Chain A
Amino acid sequence: MKGRRRHGGHGREHCSCGQLSNLYTVCEGKCYEVEQVPPAPLLSCLGICPKSVVQKKYRYSLGGPVLLQVGSREVAVGKDIASRILVREV
């Protein structure tokens, strides 16, 4: 399932080494450094803040959330927020 597919929705998943991309569309299974987050306090509470490294585990179909590994914590983030989190592959 890693690094391939997917349907339309907000955007096709793509791998973009070193490029600034939104978390929703980047490939699954890779680690990313967070560059920019939208103003949602709970994100930083859960460790998703600039300079943090997250692993994108899965993206759920039909506009579902993305599942992230943040340190030893698993956090699911809805599509609308994930597509406003800018990350760079590490």
Chain B
Amino acid sequence: MSSHCTVAEDPSVLGKENKILLMGCPNVGKSVFFSELTGVYVVSSNYTGTTVSFMQGEMQLGDKTYHLIDLPGTYTMEATSEAEAVAVRFMQSNPKAVLCVLNATDLEGGLRLALELQQFNVPIVYALNMVDVARRKGLEIDIPLLSQKLGGPVIPTIAVKRQGFAEVRAALEQVVNAPTTASPLPPCSACGAGCASCHLPCLSRHQDSTHYWEQARRIARDVISNVNATPSFLDRLGEAMMRPWPGIPIAMVVILASLGIVVATGNILADTIIAPVVDNVLVPLMERLFSSFIPSGTLLNILVGEYGFFVISFEWILTSIVPFVLVFYVIFTFLEDSGYLPRLAVLFDSVLRKVGVQGGSLVSIMLAFGCAVPAIIGTRATTTRKERLMLTTMICFAVPCISQTGALLSLVGNYSLWMMVAIIALALSIFVLVGVVTSRLFKGSIDPLIIEVPNLLIPDGRAYWVKLKVRVKSFLMDAEAPMLLAVALAAVVKEAGILDGIAEFFKPMMVGWLGLPSEAVLGLILGIVRREMAIAPLLALNLTPLQMFTGAAVGLLYLPCLSVFGILAKEFNTKVAVGIALSTTITAILVGGLINKAGTLILGLV
């Protein structure tokens, strides 16, 4: 099945024939439907804001091909957010059918949206997802009655276990091939047109939110019967995790354990598997290979010298960065798919409010530990520009991406655990300081937290594995080219002797102010391309503990990488991108220098 996807909003997609829209509230498992029906694997998550734009893929029904459009999760069609506005535009673009995914554990919310969708007079197939979780919670749903009440087919599904998809396809095929029988809705009292041709302000005049809720509750009452169910271990654990006690201690344990696993497993992977292969097999192989046909000199040095491309690309990328990236994604994807992240957002809302943002921002911050680019795109889910700008600035300043964390761990983690703790404390202090400063600097307000807490789940093995593969693959695809570019730049600059001239020019700053060897300027050059490359060159230098800490601090705070700069310019404007780049660089040099001076003073006294 051929398929493709688009993440940018493209008006031409609106005009396509044979569109089937995939709709539903956030957290209902829509993205799994999309992946299964089209074969396009997207990163899905169970918190609001994962899909900020739409995705499209091709789906075969019988002998016809349809465009399945996965729209952002929406609670209503009132166009109160950009995601809802996109959904409304698509509903008005003459789709063939809608596949509306309902959450069996929260039927009322889904029904409310379904009732609004019915106003557009488009054939709808309802997929009642998570029926297994609903049963576990003691909810029995009368599906034939629900189908009758909604006036369309209702298919019970368990998306993560891929149950019910054949029936969904069959039902979709039936509705798209059926002659249009839906009768036009009564004309609007205000504009005289049918609701399907009516724009939303008009729609909202017909029936207000309360009316839809009343209708949804009535249907839910009629079709749901509660059977006695003993709460499962997961239900009780999910409940305990939400209570202030023991929820907050559990959260601390989860965060520290996650960090510990990333550090320990990353180090074990690097030391026992990757480093021996790199040092004993790959690098000697490259050296033998190139020296067999290239004479000694600059070219050979650029390829396999001390800083040669085929030496440092293995040593820096494979040994120091990739193991930590892999383990981080294993842990993060598990936490994300289990529904734990929104729980953290609730538990830490009061703390984040003190910093100036709200608990919901924690999801973007956690994402930023993977990579700042999706996290900055994810800040679209914030409700005010001030919050978006603040969050973006805080991420750029003090949330290291996983590659950068890997490089930091390789630099200071191997030396001392306490130095690692000190770096974390520094990052936290800068994070708080940037929050406090920007909350005063930027005009506007921050909306309080309003967040739905999803069920706690054990991620389905296949869905988890597919998502992990997509994540790691996209990391390798997106990051590999800039990393190799940085490595090539390093090889040429160092081995061709250009570095000495640059190092001499920056000597007063590097040696005089930061107390680092003048060759460390290589990090500042490479850091422009990739964040971790500001730190990686320091690994090869024989640094004192103070130099190590200063270098780590500079690397932590230094310039966001080229990809982040690009996304800042795209999501905001060049002024914001330049402003953040300048302020992070100045802060990095300033803080690094202060650490060096204070450290030198203290060591002098001791």
Task: Tell whether, in the assembled complex, residue B449 and residue A65 are in contact, meaning their CB atoms are under 8 Å apart.
Answer: yes
A79 to B346, CA, bound (A): 11
Question: A23 on the interface (CB 8 Å rule)?
Answer: no
A72 to B224, CA, bound (A): 11
Task: Tell whether, in the assembled complex, residue A75 and residue B453 are in contact, meaning their CB atoms are under 8 Å apart.
Answer: yes
Does more than half of chain B's interface fall in helix, strand or loop, or is it mixed?
helix
A: number of interface residues (CB 8 Å): 33
A9 to B468, CA, bound (A): 43
A46 to chain B, nearest CB (A): 6
Interface-side segment among B319-327, B350-358, B483-491: B350-358
Q: Which residues of the partner chain B approach A45 to less than 8 Å between Cβ atoms? A: 75-76, 78, 80, 209
Known: A73-B452, A77-B448. A44 touches B213 (CB 8 A): yes
Question: B447 on the interface (CB 8 Å rule)?
Answer: yes
Task: Tell whether, in the assembled complex, residue A46 and residue B452 are in contact, meaning their CB atoms are under 8 Å apart.
Answer: yes
Q: Which residues of the partner chain B approach A61 to less than 8 Å between Cβ atoms? A: 244, 350
A64 to B244, CA, bound (A): 10
Task: Tell whether, in the assembled complex, residue B452 and residue A44 are in contact, meaning their CB atoms are under 8 Å apart.
Answer: no
Chain B residues numbered 192-219 whose CB sits less than 8 Å from any CB in chain A: 209-210, 213-214, 217
Task: Tell whether, in the assembled complex, residue B209 and residue A49 are in contact, meaning their CB atoms are under 8 Å apart.
Answer: yes
Chain B residues numbered 212-230 whose CB sits less than 8 Å from any CB in chain A: 213-214, 217, 220
Q: Which residues of the partner chain B approach A63 to less than 8 Å between Cβ atoms? A: 350, 353
* Binary per-residue interface labels of chain B (274-313) against chain A in the complex, 1 for a CB within 8 Å, 0 otherwise: 0000000000000000000000000000000000000000
Question: A26 on the interface (CB 8 Å rule)?
Answer: no
* Binary per-residue interface labels of chain A (10-22) against chain B in the complex, 1 for a CB within 8 Å, 0 otherwise: 0000000000000
Q: Which residues of the partner chain A approach B358 to less than 8 Å between Cβ atoms? A: 78
A45 to chain B, nearest CB (A): 3
Task: Tell whether, in the assembled complex, residue B448 and residue A81 are in contact, meaning their CB atoms are under 8 Å apart.
Answer: yes
Task: Tell whether, in the assembled complex, residue A76 and residue B350 are in contact, meaning their CB atoms are under 8 Å apart.
Answer: no
Chain A residues numbered 49-67 whose CB sits less than 8 Å from any CB in chain B: 49-52, 57-58, 60-65, 67
Q: Which residues of the partner chain B approach A49 to less than 8 Å between Cβ atoms? A: 209-210, 213
A58 to B209, CA, bound (A): 26
Task: Tell whether, in the assembled complex, residue B213 and residue A58 are in contact, meaning their CB atoms are under 8 Å apart.
Answer: no
Question: B236 on the interface (CB 8 Å rule)?
Answer: no
Q: Which residues of the partner chain B approach A65 to less than 8 Å between Cβ atoms? A: 346, 349-350, 359, 448-449
Question: B548 on the interface (CB 8 Å rule)?
Answer: no
Q: Which residues of the partner chain A approach B245 to less than 8 Å between Cβ atoms? A: 1
Question: B107 on the interface (CB 8 Å rule)?
Answer: yes
Known: A63-B353, A65-B349, A67-B346. A72 touches B106 (CB 8 A): yes
Q: Which residues of the partner chain B approach A43 to less than 8 Å between Cβ atoms? A: 450
A63 to chain B, nearest CB (A): 5
Q: Which residues of the partner chain B approach A77 to less than 8 Å between Cβ atoms? A: 448-450
A60 to B242, CA, bound (A): 10
Question: B137 on the interface (CB 8 Å rule)?
Answer: yes
Known: A72-B107, A76-B450. A58 touches B243 (CB 8 A): yes
Closest to A76 in B: B346
Closest to A82 in B: B448
Task: Tell whether, in the assembled complex, residue B452 and residue A75 are in contact, meaning their CB atoms are under 8 Å apart.
Answer: yes
A44 to B213, CA, bound (A): 9
Of A71, A80, A81, the contact of B220 (CB 8 Å cutoff): A71
Q: Which residues of the partner chain A approach B479 to less than 8 Å between Cβ atoms? A: none
Q: Which residues of the partner chain B approach A1 to less than 8 Å between Cβ atoms? A: 243, 245
Task: Tell whether, in the assembled complex, residue B109 and residue A47 are in contact, meaning their CB atoms are under 8 Å apart.
Answer: yes
Question: A41 on the interface (CB 8 Å rule)?
Answer: yes
Task: Tell whether, in the assembled complex, residue B350 and residue A73 are in contact, meaning their CB atoms are under 8 Å apart.
Answer: no
Closest to A81 in B: B448
Question: B85 on the interface (CB 8 Å rule)?
Answer: no
A57 to B244, CA, bound (A): 11
A41 to B350, CA, bound (A): 22
Of B109, B214, B243, B346, the contact of A71 (CB 8 Å cutoff): B109
Task: Tell whether, in the assembled complex, residue B453 and residue A78 are in contact, meaning their CB atoms are under 8 Å apart.
Answer: no
Q: Which residues of the partner chain B approach A50 to less than 8 Å between Cβ atoms? A: 210
A65 to B453, CA, bound (A): 13
Give the 6 A-B residue pairs with the shortest CB-CB distance, closest first. Answer: A78-B448, A45-B75, A64-B350, A78-B449, A41-B80, A62-B350
Listed by A's residue number, 13 A-B pairs whose Cβ atoms lie within 8 Å are A45-B76, A49-B209, A49-B210, A49-B213, A60-B346, A61-B244, A62-B350, A64-B346, A75-B450, A76-B345, A77-B448, A78-B359, A79-B353
Q: 5 more A-B contacts (CB under 8 A) besides A73-B109, A73-B452, A74-B453?
A: A1-B243, A41-B76, A46-B452, A64-B346, A75-B450
